[in-house]
Chains A and B, each alone.
Chain A
Amino acid sequence: MKVIKIDKAKWASGVSSLQGTYKIIGPAVDGDAHNFKELAKGEEPDFNFLNTKLSPKSIVFPQSEKMLEYSVDENKEDHHIMKEVKKDYSPRAVVGIRPCDAKAINLVKMNFDTDDYKDPYWLKLYEATTFVGLACDKPCDSCFCTSTGCGPYNEEGLDILLKEDGASYVAKALTEKGETLLGAAGFSDAGDEAAFEAGKKDAEAKITSSVQTDKLKDFSTLDLYNADFWEDLSFACLNCGTCTFACPTCWCFDIQDEVKGKDGVRVRNWDSCMFPLFTMHTTGHNPRGTKEHRVRQRFMHKLKYFVDKYEKGIMCVGCGRCVNQCPVNIDIRKVCDVMNNHVPEPVK
């Protein structure tokens, strides 16, 4: 793979020269934190951040996305016909996505791009996007990516991995899409791959937090499902959308029709298994009727059902967002360890 060295003095002009061809989406100060947003002409991605408050999943999976539109006006010839909403799928590049969030996009892809179903909205945005990752040399205290099959220099899901190296960046093109972008920006000086090896070792050593996941797949599902720890683990939960909305790997959505006058749109909105409405039946019965059921669902999905279904480890990249943002401090690291260390009652 091609390794390119980019002088920091040439970085801004290179990125900005891409702006005719690509929309540039990068980290920017947003209130008391950073978030990804489309950068204005000449605006540089602000790399002075640990990670963004909200994950970049919304770049390919917007929180509210119009899918179809229609008219119910019978005077119109095409009334009651669903039509795809025209959207901008021109090339875009996310510059500065962290390796955990890039892996998360790959993980979400397992759901939106399967042999049986292809989600056209997600896939079109995904295909239009070039992912330029920024290696994490200063991981936060609550990151535990090295024990989730990821890591501060993980390359999965990325087209380019970028690393700061003194007065320059070193960029590793990982895909053709990545090479194209580097070429378009006019970055061509040869760089040294060795910088990645050393940086990776240092960064991994800085990650102090971890989870144990080795036994999860061996449990019978019901042993974990019926375990006695759920009341204690779920007591504090408010059943809000904080953890699942912040999570780069949570993929659930709800579809709504919104009609104003005679014009309607079909919209999909993020949903969350923590909300009671998520599983409410039209009869009024709710199979996940209590908070305990819902908390169990979230963790069983991430740490057991997903593990069993895909055999690709847990559905968590260790970004730490839910850990930091949960208003009542429910910590997936603790839940994961409780599950992993569970001793099922012997069969009588």
Chain B
Amino acid sequence: MEAYTEKIREISERLLKDGTVEAVIGYRKGSVENSNEPCIVRSSEKINDLVWDSNCRINLANYLTNRKDKVAIIAKGCDSRNINTQIIENKIKRDQLFIIGVPCSGMTKKEDSSDLQENCKVCHHKNPVVYDELVAAEVEETKVDRYEDVKKIEAMGVEEKWEFFKDLLEPCTRCYACKNACPLCYCPTCFVDESKPQWVGKGMDPIDVRTYHFLRAYHCAGRCTDCGACESACPQGINMRHFTKKLEKECFDQFAWEAGLNSEERPPLDTFKLDDPQTFIK
């Protein structure tokens, strides 16, 4: 990891000095155990703030939305796919970016630095899918069954599912860290904040809490890269990826789709094709 940090600093310094970019979006060392803080570096004096290790959980693509300047961004496999998604959705232009790609060996849990995050355990795209320069040689990709957890829930009976989701969301305080950490959630006014009409109550009524989660997940369908930023951000330790992953699986099964692999193809729920499977239309 130290080699990664060195290389990130070297590339960043060069880019700032030769004026390729105005700023570098990366991570600086955090103040509590197993934590780093996303940061923006604008001058070479601050280059040594930049670090890389397995605590870079937050998806930096989240900090690109609607930027006007030219920046360098440090991107893991998942971040790079969300950068593509931001490009497709006109939130940033490719030529505003210098992507410093990081072949990723997985992020660890904040509460246990010896354990990989759940999404990282089943990641199929550890290497950035788009970049201008890599900080190291690509790592080997592993293929595992990505959907074991989803299948487990699919196999549950109705009652059991109800209980499972009820328990899952019971500790939620609606702090919205999950949606705010997500690079897909950039609407100027989120549906939870709309008041004319008001789609959902704002209190702790379980129906409202669930409505928030279901709707958020649906808005991520076909766009979610399973970067895990949402889950890592949750102060209540809620595994809300269960929702987005189910939708990811549907998109994969129906359309052989994986989000953000390139910056041209629009996500399936955003397009119409004559040969789309439409067995649901009765």
Give A contacts to B, CB under 8 Å. Answer: 30-32, 53-54, 63-64, 141-142, 231-232, 235-236, 238-242, 245-246, 254, 256, 258, 267, 269, 275-277, 280, 323-325, 327-331, 333-334
Contact = CB atoms under 8 A, between A and B. Distances in A.
Given A240-B233, A277-B193, A331-B31, A256 B177 contact: no
B31 A64 contact: no
B31 A269 contact: no
A74 B58 CA distance: 53
Contacts of B31: 323, 329, 331, 333-334
B262 interface: no
Given A32-B237, A63-B173, A327-B235, A235 B40 contact: yes
5 contacts: A64-B204, A240-B177, A246-B235, A327-B177, A329-B36
A329 B32 contact: yes
Contacts of B174: 241
Contacts of A324: 32
Interface in B15-62: 30-33, 35-40, 58, 62
A176 B62 CA distance: 54
A329 B175 contact: no
Contacts, number: 95
B232 A327 contact: yes
Interface in B162-188: 171, 173-177, 180-181
Contact of B175 (A30, A245, A331): A245
B38 A276 contact: no
Nearest to A334: B31
A236 B235 contact: no
Most chain B CB within a 10 A radius of its CB, from A231, A275, A328, A333:
A328
B127 to A, nearest CB: 25
B177 A236 contact: no
Q: Which 6 A-B pairs have the closest CB atoms?
A: A327-B233, A64-B203, A241-B175, A240-B177, A238-B180, A329-B30
A330 B37 contact: yes
Contact of B237 (A31, A63, A141): A31
A328 B110 CA distance: 11
Contacts of A238: 62, 177, 180-181, 233
